[in-house]
A and B are shown apart, each in its own frame.
Chain A
Amino acid sequence: MSDPRLGVRVFTREEIQRRVEEVAHEIDRDYRGERPVLIVILRGAVYFAVDLTRALTIPFDLDFMALSPFRLGLRRAEIEKDVDVDLKGRHVLILEDIVDTGLTLNFLVRNLERRLPQSVRVCSFLNCPVRRIAEVEVHYFCFEIPDIYVVGYGLDFRGDFRNLQEVYALYDPSGRSTQVLKRMGKGR
């Protein structure tokens, strides 16, 4: 990619594929004999959800949720698209693209728990615990990332880069992201 807004490549297609399959095996193992409801959080998690669900062998129901984005003028988050299935007594697995502040996910988990599911767990492509504000437990994740802004594989910057098959850091003119990634052994 030659877009000047992109910085270092963080995860290759192969790395992503390998980790997604490993996480799918974990989910297969943990939900053996069950039929969980997988709730994909629109829009970023779609790419991850497609690859993850293809790698699963357990039966599952797939549904989608969308939360209103934070914007000036809207006082409270709203569920813009809700699931169609009844969650009472079901095992729910939320599929997210990234968990960083935890604010969105905390809201969703509280909302879903009110519907009396048997369990609610979270599976995220990326986990960024250093940015966490609201407490949420991420039960499954493919990669833990430091405090950098990344795009690709569903993650966007102002609507761009979602369709990249690899994950890149957004270009950081201060060079900080590059240094952090170098310490992780990532970099060009």
Chain B
Amino acid sequence: MGNFSVITVSREVESLGDEVALRLSRVLGYELINREQWMALLEGHSPALSPEPPEEEGERERWMAEVGRLLEELAEKRAFVLLGRGGQKLLARCARAFHLLVVAPVPVRLRRIMERYRQDEVTASRILAEQDRQRERFLLRFFGVDWRNPLHYHFVLNTAFYDVEESCQLVLEAMKRTRPPSSGQQESFFTREGFLEKPVVFSHPSEEEFARILDFYGIRWLYEPRTFPLEWDSEGNVVEAFAPDFYLPDFDLFIELTTQKQRLTWRKNRKVRKLKELYPEVKIKVVYARDYEHILRKFDLEDNHE
């Protein structure tokens, strides 16, 4: 269909996402990869891959890279509809993949559960809340994504207004009309969580760890986005400048991280003082080694640094 040989379907519980995925696979003649096929696919891989992402982060990164490669190779050979499994994240960089999110309002999903399973409202609402929570946790924990964020998808479909057949028609129309992304564009659209254009190369491991702490709490940051000239020669050339490590746009705050001993920070302090004099509107905070130790101690990370 158009430019896409793969459709990933993410769906809220009882949003008709499963039915839409099945119908799409039949209409298009694409293979449907649901939980059973997923397990067979990963277990049949050599070496076999676990169907769920591993808990340990290093292993999980390797698993994601391996599974992503496997899916991209599969997309070269076969057309398929991937139901759930974090497909929108695993295939975020794949230009052949169309990412679909199927949602429906809570009362609609609640009614569907009550009818389908013949449950009262209380039981149905508990089931819905529990399953929503499980799904949210799975994707947040293993893939680090807020999966309901519409920016992870080409198309978001609310099935409160359409039945399965109408939903499929809308998805097919959307797929037909979606322009192929230019080189690198798709990656940028679906993988950028923060403001960063490209992967950051940190100049110190402490900066990388600090960035992870910020990510953990959902605080957006930029790495060394601005260099402040501090001194000029007689011809107007900049002879001294300062680029604070982080900028936190939500707080309009620059952060300079230093792990040097306090007595060695005089040069940095001088630069910060100068910056404050020349750019009084700029908010900057220096996180000294002892502040950083406090942060690490608070987050029980100091053993990794001693």
Name which residue of chain B comes closest to A110, CB basis. B218
In the complex, whether B117 has a CB less than 8 A from a CB of chain A is no
B218-A76 in contact (CB<8A): yes
Interface residues of A (CB under 8 A from B): 69-78, 100-101, 103-104, 106-107, 110, 131-135, 147, 149, 157-158, 176
CB-CB under 8 A from B181, the residues of chain A are: none
Taking the closest CB of chain B, its distance from the CB of A67, in whole angstroms, is 9
Q: Interface SS of chain A: helix, strand, loop or mixed?
A: loop
CB-CB under 8 A from B60, the residues of chain A are: 73
A73-B298 in contact (CB<8A): no
CB-CB under 8 A from A101, the residues of chain B are: 295, 298
A7 to B143, CA, bound (A): 42
Q: Given A73-B60, A78-B140, A133-B255, A176–B290 Cβ distance below 8 Å?
A: yes
A107-B217 in contact (CB<8A): yes
A73 to B63, CA, bound (A): 13
Query: Which residues 123-146 of B sit at the A interface, judged by CB distance below 8 A?
Result: 137, 140-141, 143-144, 146
Number of chain B residues close to chain A: CB under 8 A: 34
B218-A107 in contact (CB<8A): yes
Taking the closest CB of chain B, its distance from the CB of A132, in whole angstroms, is 8
CB-CB under 8 A from B295, the residues of chain A are: 101, 131
CB-CB under 8 A from B141, the residues of chain A are: 74-76, 78
A70 to B210, CA, bound (A): 11
**A-B pairs with beta carbons under 8 Å apart, 9 shown:** A73-B55, A75-B143, A75-B144, A103-B217, A107-B218, A134-B217, A135-B251, A147-B291, A176-B290
Name which residue of chain A comes closest to B285, CB basis. A133
CB-CB under 8 A from A78, the residues of chain B are: 137, 140-141
